[in-house]
Amino acid sequence: MKDANHSGRIANGKTLVKIRNVHKSFGDLEVLKGIDLEVSVGETVVILGPSGSGKSTLLRCINHLEDIERGSIQVGGEQIGYKLKNNRLQKLSSRAIAAQRRKIGIVFQHFNLFPHLTVLENIIEVPVGVHRIQRAEAIQTARDLLDKVGLSEKEDSYPSQISGGQQQRVAIARALAIKPQLMLFDEITSALDPELVGEVLTVMKDLAAQGLTMIVVTHEVQFAREAADWVVFMDDGVIVEQGKAENVLVNPSEERTQQFLKRVI
């Protein structure tokens, strides 16, 4: 784990993500009820909680895959998805939002790889086709990333020819190919067979150790213990408790957190 100060946050950490009073509803259902959270550069924050607590919705709001009704989300000091005008949120253009998303990688539980492209082609598709990176540079970056996730020998394989765990590692490499400031992971092991979970978590632990800023929604409590600088427990659209992993996971102060952990540990 990276060096942390007495509060559990990264020592001398500069704030990368600042979330203030974020509200999100789907129709009459309020899913996020005033979320406040900060993430420092180089920090790994793990979000735990039961299904329906708002964890995945929060991630999608950070990347502006979902609108918010109230509040503010900033990444690197930049308001995501909106600009403030006369103290009100005004939505940015699609082009401006797309530019912001270049700083934020996201990996979902379903791999969403292009079945007709090889592993290497999947990774270079966005850098070359969207961000206009030179093909030779994109290929070298892709090969470096495949080496990092332990799949160098699979660059010419198609998704159907590799396991689910390998596909998820390719999805991680693809998200890293845009060289994001921030990585979001949404339950990326939940669709995997149990024996494949470990290989994906190993890659994520390595990324955490290398100082990549990550927000990870997961039910893998052991990963939170081993890799998280900060653990957040959400329930019913609010943050119930947050703190250092050893505090939240071993000695939680809130009864709701205690009840949840008794069921999952």
Radius of gyration over alpha carbons of the chain, in Å? Answer: 18
Question: pTM, whole model, 2 decimals?
Answer: 0.92
With pLDDT > 90 as the criterion, what percentage of the chain qualifies?
Answer: 84
The pLDDT score that the predictor gives to residue 83 is 87
Phi, psi dihedral angles at 29 (to 5 degrees): -95, 115
Which residue matches tokens 């993500």?
A: 17
Q: Decide if 68 contacts 31 (C-beta within 8 A).
A: no
pLDDT classification of 2: cutoffs 50, 70, 90: low
Q: Residue 161 carries which side chain, given as an amino acid letter?
A: Q
In SS3 terms, 102-136 reads as: CCEEEECCCCCCCCCCCHHHHHHHHHHHCCCCCHH
Phi, psi dihedral angles at 125 (to 5 degrees): -55, -50
Task: Please tell me the distance from the alpha carbon of residue 70 to that of residue 89, in angstroms, as a whole number.
Answer: 8
DSSP assignments along 179-211, one per residue: --SEEEEESTTTTS-HHHHHHHHHHHHHHHHTT
With pLDDT > 70 as the criterion, what percentage of the chain qualifies?
Answer: 95
Q: What is the pLDDT of residues 186-205, one digit of tens each?
A: 999 988 888 889 999 999 99
Burial of 163 (0-12, 13-18, 19+ CB in 10 A): middle
Q: What is the pLDDT of residues 80-113, one digit of tens each?
A: 999 878 877 789 999 999 899 989 999 998 888 9
